[in-house]
Structure 1
Amino acid sequence: MTIWDDIATERLGIAEVLEGLTEAQWQTPSLCGKWTVRELAGHLVVPFHTSIPNFAVAMVKARGSFHRANDSLARAQSRRPTADLIADLRANANHHFTPPRQGPLAPLTDALVHGQDLRIPLGINDPRDPDKWQQSLDFLVTPAARAGFTRAELPPVEFVATDLDWHFGEGPQVSGPAYAIALALTTRAASLERLSGTGIDDLTRWMG
């Protein structure tokens, strides 16, 4: 299995989750900012329809703000019929988009984290092997992940995964499942109730 195979698997898994939702569930707030499940689905298909020049135009319209440009493009896609969004994810499961200078670990991490952004608030169990998170955790603590995934400075704690042989950082310890550590590194407050240790207060302050 290659990283691209893993990315395709995640996209298809998200499509399967979306296919089983009611219209009300599509309006559920996700863990990702102010986006609903529908708007997050819109975000997931943006790379299939937005070239680098087109994103640059969106950045200009957003007065240089990456987050505003990203939000605008996601909301535009989210207005499409739900069946179209699901079909788009499936048709483009093997799409090889990567953000500039980040490589395939970026779309893998994006799909893994956003999969939890959907599943957790919907109460959908994720039965997958924790090993799926190993590469993404390694990516999230690199400088490359500071663009769009995490903050310029990592939290002053030592993360220890309880379901993987993985740890990183220095300081008071924060432990928990690999997916929760990934959510913490991407500043999802919902991760805090899934983690424990003497570094929780430091992690909470870092999240702001």
Structure 2
Amino acid sequence: MDTATVWRWTHAERAALEATLTSLPPQAWEHPSLCDGWSVKDVAAHVISNPQIGWAQMPGLVARNLGHGYNGMIKREVQRLGATQTPESVLADFERYRGSTRHVPTTTAVEPLVDAIVHHQDILRPLGLEHSPDPTAAVVAADRCRLLSPLLGGRRLLRSVRMVATDVDWVRGDGPELTGPVLELLMVCAGRARAARGLTGEGAALLPPAAA
């Protein structure tokens, strides 16, 4: 997929997330997201921090998080952002950076798309809200998440099932079939199998219990 198309999808998903955030009542910003220990505000601040991190910010980011590993670094940075940001400042950041094509050094242009799609779902689902991204964008995000599964979790599950999308031409893996919309398969690829909905096939028996 060409980079220009990936950025077009990313900008559309950031705009959709911004619209969701703008519509929320104040108390919803502190509602728990699908990310353990992260509020809606934390997740939103994390998404729009991506285009703000360049090479100049990397030394400080690394120095603040020595010895905590990749996932520990992300968690600590989200906690730091959450403590300093307000809903107003997060929305101001979306206004300024939603159309940016900058991304964190050492990552690809696809990671911001993954962030925008998956973290939007992290916010929406606990609030009982809905948004469906472009299915082709979800395919690109799902393929990237499969590559990043050692960091995202769920690698063993991904290696154990054959994923078959019902809304686009996308089949990955070997094993018992896990069938459903590509957005739900993306959630599995992104380590959020407990939040995936409507998946069927023999592979569904391998999914963890749904979140309460």
Q: Provide Cα deviations, 1:71-98, integer angstroms capped at 9, x if missing partner.
A: 2221222232211101102211132333
Q: 3-state SS of the aligned residue for 2:80?
A: helix
- Equivalent residue number for residue 79 of structure 2: 75
Uncovered stretches (5+) of structure 1, i.e. residues with no partner = none
User: Structure 1 residues 68 and 101 mapped into 2: Cα distance closer, same or farther (>3 Å)?
Assistant: closer
The answer to whether the 8 A contact 1:140-1:182 is kept is yes
Query: TM-score when scaled to structure 1?
Result: 0.85
Q: Provide Cα deviations, 1:137-184, integer angstroms capped at 9, x if missing partner.
A: 222223xx2464345553300001111111100000111111111111
The answer to whether the 8 A contact 2:149-2:189 is kept is no
1:123 aligns with 2:128: yes
Percent identity, aligned pairs only, is 26
Cα deviation, residue 101, structure 1: 4.2
- Equivalent residue number for residue 65 of structure 2: 59
Q: Provide Cα deviations, 1:97-126, integer angstroms capped at 9, x if missing partner.
A: 334543111111111111111111112221
Uncovered stretches (5+) of structure 2, i.e. residues with no partner = none
Q: 3-state SS of the aligned residue for 1:5?
A: helix
- Counterpart-to-counterpart distance in 2, 1:181 and 1:115: 15
The answer to whether the 8 A contact 1:162-1:175 is kept is yes
1:197 aligns with 2:201: yes
Residue 27 of structure 1, aligned match among 10, 30, 54: 30
Aligned length: 201
Query: TM-score when scaled to structure 2?
Result: 0.84
Residue 103 of structure 1, aligned match among 100, 108, 114: 108
1:167 aligns with 2:206: no
